[in-house]
């Protein structure tokens, strides 16, 4: 059962003695009533984006500051490169900058370094080849409910996605939401733009709060957070060997 907008606001105003610090079941900071919808609350994009360093070709920018005084035809592929030398290398060997090149691989089981980009107030153009880690301006806490986020319909109609299977939260999650942003076309984003919505649902059964689970990776995250290494469980490997699947 999904909460309506008025019910979301109501839950934010009632302290619950069973929650940490007697917080309400829903905390959204900052909260602006005009961002409350029929059954959701609008979330906003924080100014800092991150990209995994291993996916960025040397000499290439991860985003282009948007200049509203320029016409669309004034932009060119040269704008994606830090220098004329890097652009010349690209023109001679574009396959070296192809995201499908094996040297730009991601290893889910390893920690990865990131490079940051701060979106100027005038906006920035994102590249379709990069995956961007962003975050919500809003800090949220959720107790006794199931939270999840999704892109706004206008975001989707601009062929921008804000999560890659990671739009579902947990009872007990506290923190800013990390966004996994992909664009299908070069797309302008702005700091503070409405980029998604958060929803809340009731659930049944005994609780297993995220903030009390020692295996939780992302509780209390404050900004775009890199992926935790994905473990390969020893018992699963043993099972696969017993079944002669390895």
Give the tokens for residue 41: 């609350």
Instruction: Decide if 109 contacts 229 (C-beta within 8 A).
Output: yes
Residue with tokens 């984006």: 49
Instruction: Decide if 117 contacts 48 (C-beta within 8 A).
Output: yes
What is the b/e burial string over 120-143, where b = at least 16 CB atoms within 10 angstroms of the residue's CB?
eeebbbbbebbebbbbbbbbbbbb
Would you name the residues annotated as active-site residues?
Answer: 180
Distance CA 165, CA 177 (A): 13
């Amino acid at each position: 059962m999904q909460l309506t907008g008025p019910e979301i606001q109501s839950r934010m105003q009632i302290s619950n003695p069973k929650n940490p610090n007697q917080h309400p079941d829903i905390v959204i900071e900052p909260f602006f009533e005009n961002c409350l919808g029929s059954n959701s609350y609008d979330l906003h994009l924080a100014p800092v984006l991150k990209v995994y360093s291993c996916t960025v070709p040397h000499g290439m920018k991860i985003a282009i500051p948007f200049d509203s005084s320029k016409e669309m035809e004034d932009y060119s592929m040269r704008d994606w490169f830090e220098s004329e030398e890097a652009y010349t290398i690209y023109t001679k060997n574009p396959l070296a900058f192809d995201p499908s090149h094996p040297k730009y691989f991601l290893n889910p089981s390893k920690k990865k370094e990131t490079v940051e980009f701060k979106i100027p107030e005038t906006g920035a153009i994102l590249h379709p080849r990069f995956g961007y880690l962003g975050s919500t301006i809003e800090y949220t806490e959720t107790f006794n409910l199931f939270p999840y986020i999704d892109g706004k319909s206008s975001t989707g109609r601009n062929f921008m996605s804000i999560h890659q299977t990671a739009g579902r939260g947990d009872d007990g999650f506290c923190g800013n939401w990390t966004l996994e942003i992909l664009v299908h076309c070069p797309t302008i984003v702005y700091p503070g733009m409405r980029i998604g919505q958060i929803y809340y649902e009731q659930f049944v059964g005994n609780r297993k709060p995220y903030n009390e689970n020692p295996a939780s990776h992302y509780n209390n995250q404050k900004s775009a957070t890199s992926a935790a290494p994905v473990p390969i469980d020893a018992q699963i490997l043993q099972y696969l060997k017993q079944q002669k699947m390895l």
